[in-house]
Amino acid sequence: MVEAIDTAIRNRWYSHASFSTADYFRWDELSKGDLNWVLPGKILAMSSPSRWPRDGLKPKFFVPMFKQNKVLNIIRLNEEMYDAQDFEQEGIRTYDMEYLDGSNP
């Protein structure tokens, strides 16, 4: 574990000085998208958007945050719950790599 932390710091994937706990707790809420950086500024994990409001947030909710953080690509790991065009018309490409819900990719 210590080696992984050292690697993250050495590669500038994590910086204690720039890590925002306020942003972490704000975006971690399901109602805010359940967003978490796996590698800050590089890989972002999130709950799936949904075309049905009862099942989650619509893709348009995520677009401003994605543009602010220069997210250019989405890899969808679960079944299709939204239309990829909702992101692609905003210049964000999507790729499908479906896995069983809850399984490890």
User: 8: alpha, beta or left, given left = phi > 0 and alpha = psi -120 to 50?
Assistant: alpha
Q: How much of the chain is helix, strand and coil, in % rounded to 5?
A: 35, 15, 50
- Look at residue 17 in the predicted model and tell me its pLDDT: 80
pLDDT greater at residue 83 or residue 43: 83
Contact between residue 97 and residue 75 where contact means Cβ atoms under 8 Å apart:
yes
Kindly tell me if the per-residue pLDDT of 88 is higher than 90.
yes
* Cα 67 from Cα 15, distance rounded (Å): 22
**What are the tens digits of pLDDT across the range 16-30?**
787 788 888 888 888
Q: Per CATH, which fold does 2-96 belong to? A: Protein-Tyrosine Phosphatase; Chain A (3.90.190)
Q: In the prediction, which pLDDT does 90 show?
A: 95
Ordered by start, the domain boundaries in the chain are 2-96
Average pLDDT over residues 41-59: 84
Which pTM does this prediction carry?
A: 0.73
Read off the pLDDT of each residue in 60-84 and give the average, rounded to a whole number: 90
